[in-house]
Each structure stands twice: as C-alpha cells, then as structure tokens.
Amino acid sequence: MASSSSWELPLVAVCQVTSTPDKQQNFKTCAELVREAARLGACLAFLPEAFDFIARDPAETLYLSEPLGGNLLGEYTQLARECGLWLSLGGFHERGQDWEQTQKIYNCHVILNSKGSVVATYRKTHLCDVEIPGQGPMRESNSTMPGPSLESPVDTPAGKIGLAVCYDMRFPELSLALAQAGAEILTYPSAFGSVTGPAHWEVLLRARAIETQCYVVAAAQCGRHHEKRASYGHSMVVDPWGTVVARCSEGPGLCLARIDLNYLRQLRQHLPVFQHRRPDLYGNLGHPLS
C-alpha cells in the first residue's frame, strides 16, 4: 500500500520505566524520557500504568496516592507545556471525589495536551484480581474502585485515541466499543506480570489491533520495582495490520513509531469488517458507544 511520505506522519514515543515507591525519582526518570521524546520530534509520549509509583502493599499505595489537582499532576502539566508535546499518563493512582467515603482510589489514564490541560480521563473499568501460579496474587480491588464508564476517543495530533489500561486488553468488547466510537489508536499502558507476559502480552495486543483495525500503543513497566514485584516490559506499537512496528529493548528507555492514518483508512476499505458486523445476532458488541 502506498503510504504518505514518512516525515510528514506524526511520530509517537512509547516510554518504558521501572517505577518504585519513590515518587520523585520516578518523576525524574519519566521527565528525562519525555524530554528525549520531544527532542526526537514526537508529538505525543506514552507513559505506562503506574508511572507515578509502584508501592509494596495496598496501604502504601493509598498513602502515596494524590488527587488529579495535586502536586504530581502539576509537575506533568509543566512538563507537557515545557516540551510542547501531548502526554498519555497511563495509570495514575487517583484519589477521586469519593476518597473521603471510600478510602479507595481509581487507576486513572490521563491525557494532557501540549498546553498541559487535562483533555481526557479514563478510570480503569476491569480490575486485576487474579491468582496466576508462579506470579503472586494480584488484588487490585483491595485499594482501587472500578471506573464507572468508557471515555469517548479523544482527538490528538497523532489521531483519535481510545483509552484503556493493562488488564482491559483481555476484554475485546471494550476495544470494539472504542473502535466503533471512532478510535484510530488504542492504548494499553501496562504493568504486566512475568508469567502472563511471555504467554499473552504480544498476542493480545496484536489481536486487538487486527480485530479493531487500529494502531495499538502499549507502554509498559519493566524490571524489578521492589522485593515483591517485577514487570515484563516489551513496550510496543502495533499497526492496524497486526505488525509490531516498534518495540523497546530491555530496561528503561523509549521507542518511536509513525502513525499513518492513510494506511489505516485504506486497510479498513480493503477489509471492511465493521460493515460486516451482525449486531442483530450478538447485541451491543455491534453498536457504537452511547
């Protein structure tokens, strides 16, 4: 397929980090990667789930959490402004309006524009309560409330972005709803485990890209966060054909990809699966977001 001349295409940066319980150090690491992304000409940088911190236990998670109006998001607002790029903050431990009553937080994916304004927030709707042998139990609901709704895809300089977080990738219903609402790029910022990672990470991301005919951007945590937890890494960008077009090497760093929406539109014309859906047979899966 003929693609536009590549230097006109928007460039995105996918950042891979190893968050710890040290919030200031985590910010320093993320800020360096975002500045590097800006120097390399990216219009949008993606940070993984828990870019703010990964704590040792639910009590520490709750203690370290902040509201969206707190200091940490203020620092990211300044960073976006200073670098002149958009940021996908892939999973912020958010004390919501109901913090006083619930004493629980939300896992909130925040999009900032290049002026530092919050243009979208999505609170993770599927919480990871699983017990995988060899990986240690995950009980996200101990500290976190599930989000109440999906967020309509948001216009960015790279295309229309559908917001999700990590475990959400196991639910194709969510990605199909976002694609039907106009998403061109699906995001799965993550902190994936070391057992599920090799088995499921890449194949799920590629499946989501193929079935929705969207780009998929997955910024991931990597390495050992503290004595109790490690993450799989392998941050990547997948194109709408299912090809991995960029991936991070081992350890903290970033990778870059061009987003070619012309290619995406051609592909959707050649293989028009969304016109072939049968909502009469399987209900809401065939309908756009209300």
- Specify the amino acid at residue 224: R
Give the orientation angle of helix 196-212 with respect to helix 172-180, to 10 degrees: 30
**262 close to 250: Cβ distance less than 8 angstroms:** no
Q: At how many degrees (to 10) do helices 23-39 and 71-83 cross?
A: 10
Is 49 annotated as catalytic? yes
Q: How many CA atoms lie within 13 A of 39 on its CB side?
A: 7
Catalytic residue among 15, 83, 128, 166: 166
Write out the two tokens for 244.
Answer: 């991995």
Active site residue 124: yes
- Kindly give the pairing relationship between strand 118-123 and strand 106-112: antiparallel
- Among residues 23, 104, 124, 160, which one is catalytic? 124
| Triad 48, 253, 115: Cα angle to 5° | 60
How far is residue 244's CA from residue 222's CA, in Å, rounded to a whole number?
A: 18
- Report how far residue 135's alpha carbon sits from residue 194's, in angstroms, rounded to the nearest whole number: 7
Q: Which of 15, 49, 128, 184 is catalytic?
A: 49
Report the alpha-carbon distance of residue 181 to residue 87 in Å, rounded: 21
Tell me the catalytic residues.
49, 124, 166
